[in-house]
Chains A and B, each alone.
Chain A
Amino acid sequence: MYKKCLLLMTVLTLASCSSVNTQDTSALESYNKAMFEFNYQLDKNIIKPVAKGYKKVTNQFVRNRVSSFFNNLEEPQYMVNNLLQGEVKNSGVSIGRFVINSTLGLLGTFDIATSWGLEKKKNTFDATMAKYCVPDGPFVVLPVVGPSTPRHLTGWVADSYTSPLYWSLANSDDEKSNVIVWSATGLKYINLRAENMELLDSLEQGSVDYYEATKSAFLQNRKKFVSLCSQADNSDDNIPNYDFDFEADF
């Protein structure tokens, strides 16, 4: 069920974005704004109150253990993508981290590997595609997930198949497995939302147009992938080296 949802979301997004040209941009922009508002209301009325409640009943130590557990489940993703990008050494580090933290780190709840000098080598399929110069596509707001692009979404779905949580449940399509996967996914995002409570509140309070601010920040952050493509001009090392031109659009 979970995989079907992810696949459906990917297909719909890619289909809606594949034919986007300049004339369709305003239609996509209208959809994005409507979906952003839907997500905002969902967050305001359901996700944020749940995250607040979760924050009340947990302390920082517990939340750190939860973050660490889910971060450890991403190590196989880093291992695969480092390998796909030819970073063999980093791929080995990710395997080492996963083995150490899953055992001595008590199922990944403690990051022992970092204290042993094995720093995390984060990588994604989104970055792998960027490395092979796959275009990012237009900005699109997804239901619940939020800001994305076709390449970002494809990478996200592909990476989900590298999680040990899905391997262990891959051959069982019963109701219980679905409940476990959805509950774990829910806990992961509620924990993440709780950990970013003050930051998101501050961004919203200081913003006169939250959609535009979010879109601008998301797209600027995406530019970090440009340098991964060997055909790209990497001369500015990804710093937004704009001129202080008072007439330009960014």
Chain B
Amino acid sequence: MKKIFAVVFGVFMFYAMTSYAQLDSVKAENFIKKVTTQGIEQIINANVSQEEKDKRFEKLFNEYLDLDFIGKFVLGRYWNTATATERTEFIDVYRQMNIKTWSKRFDEFKGKKFIFNGTSASNSKNQIFVNTTVPMKQGAPAKVVWRVKDTNGTLKVVDIIIENVSLAITARNEYTAYIKKSKNGIADLIEDLRQKSK
């Protein structure tokens, strides 16, 4: 009886987990399809002024990227020692700096399309990788992986990994090295980022 119960329980759990994983994968992939389609159709290919494109990009960026979460991650252990004001200021300048950098670089995707290659499991809870490739004019297609986080049913991008290079890890390595060697730590980083985002 115990064995039968174990088998039934096992089968039930297997189907429950599989269906959960499938639902999650489809949902995450559809979310990234929505983000990329919106970005390409409503920003890159739209026949509007650059000012309007920048506005739309900022909206897209704030809506689909979890900058609070990413900002906390890129500060590493220094997040714990930062004051409440420093935390708020850092997230704000980090957001501005990213919007400025990426709104300029977004046009690099002009004429490109994303090919979706399924999802991969993540080590972190409520997160999943959506795998895409972008065909290039010359050479092999570029591999772009989106790390998606589910917070109470709302999906947001928390990292983009281009050709194995994670933007979040690169920023974290850069910022923590900067804080370590700077005189005033996070305050200097905030000031430097503020200058760069002007």
Contact = CB atoms under 8 A, between A and B. Distances in A.
**Could you say which interface size class chain A belongs to?**
35 or more
Given A208-B192, A241-B123, A224 B173 contact: no
B21 to A, nearest CB: 16
B105 A239 contact: no
A242 B164 CA distance: 12
Interface string B63-81: 0000001001100110110
B11 to A, nearest CB: 25
B75 to A, nearest CB: 8
The B contact surface, by secondary structure, is helix
Max count, chain B CB within 10 A of own CB: residue among A64, A206, A207, A236: A206
B127 interface: yes
**Could you say which interface size class chain B belongs to?**
35 or more
Contacts of A236: 120
B101 A208 contact: no
Nearest to A211: B177
A226 to B, nearest CB: 10
Interface in B147-198: 158, 161, 163-166, 169-175, 177-178, 189, 192-193, 196
A112 B8 CA distance: 59
B164 A67 contact: no
Given A220-B170, A246-B79, A241 B165 contact: no
Interface in A44-103: 64, 67-68, 71
A131 interface: no
Interface of B: 69, 72-73, 76-77, 79-80, 97-98, 100-101, 104-105, 108, 120, 122-124, 127, 129, 131, 137-140, 145, 158, 161, 163-166, 169-175, 177-178, 189, 192-193, 196
